[in-house]
Amino acid sequence: MSQPTERTPERPAGRAVPTSADVARLAGVSRATVSYVLNNTSAVRISEPTRRRVREAAEELGYVPHAAARSLRAGHSRMVLLPTSHVPVGPLYSQFFNEFQWALRRLDYTVVQYGSVGLEAEEAARAWAELRPVAVVSLGEVQLTGQGVEILKRSGARAVITLGTRAVEGTHALVMDQGKVGEVATAHLVASGRRRIGVVIPEEPGLAMFSGPRLDGARRAVAGTGATVVPLPLRYEEESANELAARWRDLGLDAVFGYNDEYAMLLMRALQDAGIAVPGETAVVGADDLLLGRLLRPRLSTVRIDMVLGRELAELVDRAVREPEVPPRTRALLDSRVVRRESS
Amino acid sequence: MSQPTERTPERPAGRAVPTSADVARLAGVSRATVSYVLNNTSAVRISEPTRRRVREAAEELGYVPHAAARSLRAGHSRMVLLPTSHVPVGPLYSQFFNEFQWALRRLDYTVVQYGSVGLEAEEAARAWAELRPVAVVSLGEVQLTGQGVEILKRSGARAVITLGTRAVEGTHALVMDQGKVGEVATAHLVASGRRRIGVVIPEEPGLAMFSGPRLDGARRAVAGTGATVVPLPLRYEEESANELAARWRDLGLDAVFGYNDEYAMLLMRALQDAGIAVPGETAVVGADDLLLGRLLRPRLSTVRIDMVLGRELAELVDRAVREPEVPPRTRALLDSRVVRRESS
DNA sequence: TTGAAAGCGTTACCAA
DNA sequence: TTGGTAACGCTTTCAA
């Protein structure tokens, strides 16, 4: 860039942000022409010399269009808003999420994640609505209410998609059937002849959303089999696991579903240290099929969760935006199956 | 897009998005009054009955202010933009990140994460600049250039903060000294009498940003000691680890720094399965101090990384926004120390 | 081929 | 205490 001045102060107090009017002035044309050139408007034909002058002027000024002004004028945006929060999630979920974002970008949407920690349902919906997104994809961080959905739709959102453990009225709901995770794990344990089955409930906040349905699923699996389910609160700390292991024999359990691989690994180690044979005396099953679970001895049995592809979800969003009249539907988002290794 | 000149209704058969003008009409007042009431403008006093009428009208219509229009009018926003991408990060980083977001929110900023996967430096800077954020905090997903920083500042960003492995010109740079992680790990191994030290280099994309500096740090640690460093490419798969373990004795290594706990655990298991005693024949050190590392036998030695608090970083952002004339500085963001367990 | 002007939803200034 | 009005930056229709 040509900076003829010897000293360019970083931030001259008066330096304004260049607008299309500045570009027009420098190029010696009107603002309309600038817009035509920079947006490659095909309806209008601009001479090549003019185009070049405009482009050079824009370049020289470092002009960048103002998204807010543009979408204000246009009356709509292509922003897809994804509320985020602090729910600790595994690599599976992260990968899905990234693929989803990438696919949306390919469909020419601007993906914006909005940190929504600590917001209540309606408060959150209002905050999101201020940005006038064309679609909101809520991954369950904030429990959206029908009221909140109404606010969003009234403010122009053409699609509200919830991706959670249960359907929300008025939205395209994608249900992650967390119950099934607990169900297949527990059914597997029952089928292997286990009768008293512990189910780990993490005490860490934010996980109740997943652990509750998983426990319910476990209960469904034992219904009518004579086996029983015992909830086991557990913090993700060695001390907590050791305490639990110390009273293991009093609990009289012969199997445990560890919520996920991490909690399962923690508990399995504590059980082994307490002299309880795995899987001999107690079977252990995790979930998520982490690589690390295969490194323990015995190798950890697990529930493998197959997520819908991020690309598919992106296409669903796109369709919902283009055809908002299609009524929202609820559909399953993931499938689960047991991968039996050595710990069960 | 060539569309017929016929007017296509933007919002088919639906009521339009309510604006402050609609609220004013319903309440029987002017738009200005609506603005005063809804923003609690203290400079103007509005009678209580009027306030009530306005509030009720807004409520009835489900009015939500239009953030773009507001910031267009105001000439500035309080948006802090955080580019995100798919770099796989550990729980330590996530926790820091969430704390940071939360703290920014408390300081009344709107935190927006912008999915920037696959964007080049300048392209990305331009995309971010379109949103006219008051500050950009780049966590290193996209290698920001001086050019990119200039674009952002010209478009009104009052602070650009980079949080990466090396400083970027013109920004408040917070350097995560990844080199030190490798340095302290290797120094520890050398001090324990190890001479030929392997350093794992993950083959997964996106990690080079961290692994390169860590390897450099390891080299610094052996300089002048007579010990040597050997880079060890490794995929995060059992097969890859087993291959590496199979030719371990040919490599003649007596220690390895495993990049982080996960790779270290993977490799340690492969070494043990190949009959190589840990730490007797080969010492292993990871990094991140994951709980899972403590579950293996021997317990995994590790490098504990202390991150700066998210709250501190949020305050730095706030200060940089309020006093943009203060020259950008580079400062260290994290400190590292070895936690010796049993594997070294 | 280009330009003038309207208007998107807000808010701040100045009158009434 | 309230209302009219201009302006923020952009796109688009209409006119030249």
8 Å CB contact of B153 and A10:
yes
pLDDT at B89: 64
- A245 interaction partners in chain B (CB closer than 8 Å): none
- B170 interaction partners in chain A (CB closer than 8 Å): 10
Q: Are residues A94 and A125 in the same domain?
A: yes
8 Å CB contact of B155 and A130:
no
- Between CA B65 and C1' C8 the distance (Å) reads 14
Percent of residues, chain A, with pLDDT higher than 90: 67
In the structure encoding, which two tokens stand for residue B106, read together?
């408390």
Q: Are residues B301 and B186 in the same domain?
A: yes
Q: Is there a domain that residue B12 lies in?
A: no
Q: Is the pLDDT of residue B331 over 80?
A: no
Q: Are B201 and B211 in contact (CB under 8 A)?
A: yes
pLDDT at B88: 59
In the structure encoding, which two tokens stand for residue B253, read together?
């290594």
pLDDT at A308: 79
How far A200 CA lies from chain B's nearest CA (Å)? 17
Closest residue to D8 measured CA to C1′: B73
8 Å CB contact of A68 and B114:
no
Our measurement of the distance from residue A77's CA atom to the centroid of its chain's CA atoms, rounded to an integer in Å, reads: 22
Summarize pLDDT for A220-250 with one digit per residue, the tens.
Answer: 999 999 999 999 999 999 999 999 999 999 9
Q: Are residues B164 and B197 in the same domain?
A: no
Q: Are residues A198 and A291 in the same domain?
A: yes
Q: Is there a domain that residue A4 lies in?
A: no
User: What does pTM read for this prediction?
Assistant: 0.85
Average model confidence (pLDDT) for chain B? 89
Residue-wise burial string across A39-71, b where 16 or more C-beta atoms lie within 10 A, e elsewhere: eeeeeeeeeeebbebbbebbeebbbbbbbbbeb
Q: Is there a domain that residue B4 lies in?
A: no
Of A28, A43, A65, which residue is a domain's last? Answer: A65
Q: Are residues A39 and A188 in the same domain?
A: no
Summarize pLDDT for B10-67 with one digit per residue, the tens.
Answer: 344 356 899 999 999 999 999 999 999 999 887 778 888 899 999 999 999 999 999 9
CB-CB neighbours of A204 under 10 Å: 14
Of A12, A32, A65, which residue is a domain's last? Answer: A65
- Between CA B139 and C1' D9 the distance (Å) reads 30
How far B9 CA lies from chain A's nearest CA (Å)? 12
CB pairs under 8 A between A and B: 158
Q: Coil, strand, or helix at residue B340?
A: coil
CATH of the domain at B53: 1.10.260.40
CATH of the domain at A149: 3.40.50.2300
d(CA A337, CA A288): 10
- Determine which of A142-151, B236-245, B286-295 has the lowest per-residue pLDDT on average: A142-151
Q: Are residues B94 and B114 in the same domain?
A: yes
- A84 interaction partners in chain B (CB closer than 8 Å): 113
Q: Does B101 touch chain A (CB under 8 A)?
A: yes
pLDDT at A7: 29
How far B132 CA lies from chain A's nearest CA (Å)? 7
Domains in chain B, number:
3
8 Å CB contact of B269 and A112:
no
Q: Is there a domain that residue A323 lies in?
A: yes
Q: Is there a domain that residue B344 lies in?
A: no
Average pLDDT over residues A76-101: 82
Residue B156: pLDDT band with limits 50, 70, 90:
very high
Report the DSSP pairing between strands B334-339 and B302-307.
antiparallel
Q: Are residues A215 and A244 in the same domain?
A: yes
8 Å CB contact of A291 and B236:
yes
8 Å CB contact of A238 and B114:
no
Q: Are residues B185 and B171 in the same domain?
A: no
Q: Does A262 touch chain B (CB under 8 A)?
A: yes
Q: Are residues B88 and B155 in the same domain?
A: yes
The position carrying tokens 């970008």 is: A105
Summarize pLDDT for B216-264 with one digit per residue, the tens.
Answer: 999 999 999 999 999 999 999 999 999 999 999 999 999 999 999 999 9
Three-state SS letters, chain A? CCCCCCCCCCCCCCCCCCCHHHHHHHHCCCHHHHHHHHCCCCCCCCCHHHHHHHHHHHHHHCCCCCHHHHHHHHCCCCEEEEEECCCCCCHHHHHHHHHHHHHHHHCCCEEEEEECCCCCHHHHHHHHHHCCCCEEEECCCCCCCHHHHHHHHHCCCCEEEEEECCCCCCCEEEECCHHHHHHHHHHHHHHCCCCEEEEEEECCCCCHHHHHHHHHHHHHHHCCCCCEEEEEEECCCHHHHHHHHHCHHHHCCCEEECCCHHHHHHHHHHHHHCCCCCCCCCEEECCCCCHHHHCCCCCCEEEEEEECCHHHHHHHHHHHHHCCCCCCCEEECEEEEEECCCCC
In the structure encoding, which two tokens stand for residue A90, read together?
């595994």
Instruction: Give the range of the structural domain holding residue A36, as residue numbers without chain letter.
Output: 20-65
pLDDT at B14: 56
Summarize pLDDT for B74-108 with one digit per residue, the tens.
Answer: 999 999 999 887 665 677 777 888 888 889 989 99
Instruction: Tell which wins on pLDDT, A109 or B308.
Output: A109
pLDDT at B4: 34
Q: Are A179 and A220 in contact (CB under 8 A)?
A: yes
Q: Are residues B117 and B192 in the same domain?
A: no
Beta bridge partners of A135: A80, A159
The helix-helix angle for B208-222 and B178-191 (nearest 10°) equals 40
Q: Coil, strand, or helix at residue B202?
A: strand
Nearest to B129 among A64, A155, A296 (CB): A64
The position carrying tokens 């940071």 is: B100
How far B63 CA lies from chain A's nearest CA (Å)? 8
Residue B176: pLDDT band with limits 50, 70, 90:
confident
Q: Does A43 touch chain B (CB under 8 A)?
A: yes
Q: Are A228 and A221 in contact (CB under 8 A)?
A: no
Beta bridge partners of B284: B256
Q: Which of B3, B7, B11, B17 to mutate to test the interface with A (most CBs of A within 10 A)?
A: B17
Q: Are residues A199 and A219 in the same domain?
A: yes
List the Cα angle A317/A321/A322 in 5-degree steps: 120
Q: Are residues B172 and B213 in the same domain?
A: no
Q: Is there a domain that residue A88 lies in?
A: yes
Q: Is there a domain that residue B294 lies in?
A: yes
8 Å CB contact of B72 and A75:
no
Q: Is there a domain that residue A343 lies in?
A: no
